[in-house]
Structure 1
């Protein structure tokens, strides 16, 4: 089973394959901040420190909320991100505040 390491809270859990970061935080008390669970508020923004290759593709809702600016720095929304291997993540109150203020953007075709 994959290990999910919450650096900020110092907690590590073994979780099932294809697990949502936010759901596992809620289930095992990982302490990842959250509010809506739907990708619109930005409260569960976290930085994938290790194991980016074990996360699924960026969802349209993440693209709308985070934009390339935050995605390129390794940030994801915990409510939208699923893992299939060991992942280490962290979060920062200042980043969370900035992301929460961002308006959802329209997705443009690339």
Structure 2
């Protein structure tokens, strides 16, 4: 599987953030936020956005069935208002590798 963060333009690009609030704001603004975590001892990530069509385009590009897209309203950290949002659960072959850390 191609690393979507470095893939050609046919795969929508996501961003990762060290600060969760910044990632949530990016997702609230319609960007793709990749949020890594561990679930039951397994590495996984959520790919989150308020832009459902952008998430579906990502899913098509990497082979995720549209039925797996999950709807979950999320609170915008800037306003406290819940907004419609969606996410993919990325595990196994769909979990992008961590970005390489540049040597100094």
Return the TM-score normalized by structure 2.
0.29
The structure with the largest alpha-carbon Rg is 2
Q: Relative contact order, CA 8 A, sep 6+: which one is greater?
A: 1
Return the TM-score normalized by structure 1.
0.28
